[in-house]
Structures are given as structure tokens and as C-alpha cells.
Amino acid sequence: MKPIQVDDASFQNEVLNSDKPVLVDFWAIWCGPCKLIAPTLEEIANEYDGKLKVAKMDVDANPRTAVNLGVKSIPTLMLFKGGQCVAQIVGNMPKRQLLDKIIPHIG
């Protein structure tokens, strides 16, 4: 499963109201590290399909949500569970390191 695209209008329904944990990638088209982490997020979306949703939000096209959540640099990954942010990761990192931060919150 590929990451889903979310925007300011769909964030509440797709992320905060989700019955599964949702990893949201706040990114922009011009961001080099965002491009580097994208293939890793696609792998995670496929490997954890059914247990975890992976979503992408373009901060340039959807600034309201990013500002409300205090996103100051990208890529920023936020893991939401039960409508609450339970983990925040800033910057690109190896897949194993990323999974070490996510796995404790999915079950």
C-alpha cells in the first residue's frame, strides 16, 4: 500500500479519527531529505499494511495543519494514535532507526 495524501481538509478524518496508528510525513517538493526518506516510508507502508497508515502532507500546499502542530523543519514525521501525537521524528534516518521509534506504538 502506498502512503496516502492528506491535506488540511482531510487531516481530521484520515489521521485524528483513524482506528489505526498513522505516521504522517510533513514534506515539501523542494526538500532534499524529504525525497531521501520517501522510499523508506513506502516500504514501511507496505510492510505494516493493516497495522499502520502512512500519510504524506505537503506543508506548502497545506500550511494550516503544519503550523497548528508546530512543524518547524521538514521532513518531520509524527505518529498519531487515538488522535494524539505519540512520537515525533525530525529529519531523515535509516529505516531500522525509524522503526525503533514507531514499532512500540503499533500493535
Domains of the chain, start order = 4-105 (3.40.30.10)
Average pLDDT, the chain: 96
Residue 15 is predicted with a pLDDT of 98
What pTM was computed for the model? 0.96
Q: Is the pLDDT of residue 27 over 80?
A: yes
Question: What amino acid positions are annotated as catalytic residues?
Answer: 31, 34
What are the tens digits of pLDDT across the range 57-100?
999 999 999 999 999 999 999 999 999 999 999 999 999 999 99
Give CA–CA dist 57/16, Å, rounded: 14
Cα distances from 63 to residues 72, 83, 106, in angstroms, run: 11, 19, 28
Strand pairing partners for 56? 5, 25
